[in-house]
Amino acid sequence: MNPGLENLETSMYYLMFAAYLLSMFSYWVWAAFKSELMGKLATALAIVGFAANTAAIVVRILIVQRPPLTNGYEFLVTFCWGILAVYLFAEFRYRLKALGVFVLPVAFLLLAYIAMKMGPEERVAQAIPPALKSQWLTFHVITAILAYGAFAVAFGLGLMYLLKHKFELLKKSDGLMTRFPALDTLDELAYRVVGFAFPLLSLCIITGAIWANYAWGTYWSWDPKETWSLITWLIYAGYLHARLMYGWKGKRAAWMAVFGFAAVLFTFFGVNYFLPGLHTYA
């Protein structure tokens, strides 16, 4: 191990933790008080956090000489990276700053979970377990990170839709709601994000099956992680099917985006930490 690189990685972790925390509060202040200065600060801090997040991943790669995708700490850090990558694209592409009010807390809470629940022994770089020694693991986890990051953004869009819809029913249009796009725009963007993420989730499951056959001699064993990944896939498949075949839009689609991300979170936290199985090391 290289103590210098390990210290640098720790510094990058705390920098992104602080940047995401301050960015989250800045988005909230921007939304509450309509301060353009705070809005610019919120975006700048999100970019600083994303840069530190990227640096932390690169340093971990230099330390372990492999993709940093083999334990809970590494996955959560890369999960945050995926969330911010998709979010920042959405903010700049669609001028959707209000989305940060809902997405930045997700990234911050993931890092807070690391700080509160993972001790030094869980963060330290360890030798890769024999079951993980396959290039399929890299494809499997990278597709999961990008898909999960996009689903977090779709979750934020779903919450925005539900809140705006509620306020419009109450005939209220002041405060935060003035920062939200039209309902049709939120609905369409959520659909596009899920449409982007769903093929990645499908690839995640396919590459995971190939990796499982390499590691354990079977493509599918109904391990809790596999089962909940399938449940998550079915929720988003139902979302797309209902929209394309039955015209489901609006409130029902927004709720499905929210429930889908709840399944994503349980697939990681619930399975990895509460349900015994082949993926408990993750």
Average of pLDDT values for 12-27?
A: 96
pTM of the model: 0.89
> What single-letter amino acid sits at 153?
V
| pLDDT tens-place string over residues 127-184 | 666 666 667 777 888 898 899 999 999 999 999 999 998 888 877 766 677 778 889 9
What would you report as the CA-atom Rg of the chain, rounded to the nearest whole angstrom?
A: 19
Is pLDDT above 60 for 281? no
* Same domain assignment for residues 54 and 122: yes
* Same domain assignment for residues 222 and 109: no
* Same domain assignment for residues 43 and 158: no
Domain count, the chain: 2
Q: Which of 75, 99, 128 is the last residue of a domain?
A: 128
Those residues with Cβ within 8 angstroms of residue 107's Cβ, 6 or more apart along the chain or in another chain: 20, 49, 80, 83, 84, 152
Residue whose pair of structure tokens reads 């809970």 in the numeric block: 72
* Same domain assignment for residues 121 and 135: no
* Same domain assignment for residues 14 and 4: yes
Could you list the residue range(s) of the whole structural domain that residue 45 is in?
1-128
How far, in whole angstroms, is CA 83 from its chain's centroid?
A: 4
